[in-house]
Structure formats: C-alpha cells, structure tokens
Amino acid sequence: MVSAVRTVLGDLPPERLGVCDAHDHLFFGSPRLPGQELNSRSAAGAELAAFRAQGGDAVVQWTPYGLGRRAADLPPLSREAGVQVVAATGCTRTSTTTSRRSTVCGTGSPRCSWPN
C-alpha cells in the first residue's frame, strides 16, 4: 500500500488526490513533432485552472527529461491553480542523431543503450 504520493508541493496521502488526470503533458517539445510544442507557461496555467474548474484535483505530468519538462515551473503552477501536480520522471528514446536506438536521461547524462 502506498503511504504517500510525491507531488511538486510535497508528499500527500493518496486519498487526498481526488479526481486525477493520470497522464498529461503541461510542457513538451520534440524535434520529431515540430509545431506540436507545449511551451507556454500561461497556457499550462490555463489548462490547470480549467481542469480545476471542472472538479479536477490532481494531474500526473509525464514529460520526461530531454523533452522540455520544465520542472521548476510546476510548483508555482500547482499553487496558482490549486491542483496537485505529480512530476513523473523517466527517459526518452531518441533516434534523431543516430541510427542506433538510445535513451537520453537528463542534461549532460550519458546515453544508455536501449534493447532492440
């Protein structure tokens, strides 16, 4: 049993999550999807406010390292909208610079091989 959910504002008992969007992207950017970037702080705030107005309580933000997750923007957005935000972490597969599939895990970290 999970005793706490780690949000960008601190740990929370699971029963306090309320209505939860379990997979969303508040920020996102990929060279493989030009023109589909989510990079506006005001747009992210408006989406959270609209979700809250419809009864939403929590969002799990799934943008991984390397795709513009903007983790530093999440706590103030959470506070301003009154919506709990869980910042999931992870890596992203990339093949934009090599024919070999690989994984990028954060700025400056080494690439690790991805099984074929």
Confidence (pLDDT) at 92: 65
Confidence (pLDDT) at 39: 95
Confidence (pLDDT) at 97: 30
Task: Spell out, as residue ranges, where the chain has pLDDT lower than 70.
Answer: 92-116
Rounded to two decimals, the pTM is: 0.79
Q: Which of 69, 85, 79 is nearest to 22 (CA)?
A: 85
Confidence (pLDDT) at 74: 97
Q: Which of 98, 42, 92, 51 is nearest to 69 (CA)?
A: 92
Question: Cβ(95)–Cβ(101) under 8 Å?
Answer: yes
The three-state secondary structure class of 104 is strand
Q: Which two tokens stand for residue 85?
A: 């935000």
Confidence (pLDDT) at 32: 79
> Alpha-carbon distance 79 to 73, whole Å?
11
Backbone angles phi, psi at 44, to 5 degrees: -65, -45
Confidence (pLDDT) at 90: 72
Tens of pLDDT, residue by residue over 8-40, are 999 999 999 999 999 999 999 888 788 999 999
Q: Which of 71, 111, 73 is nearest to 92 (CA)?
A: 111
Question: Cβ(25)–Cβ(77) under 8 Å?
Answer: no
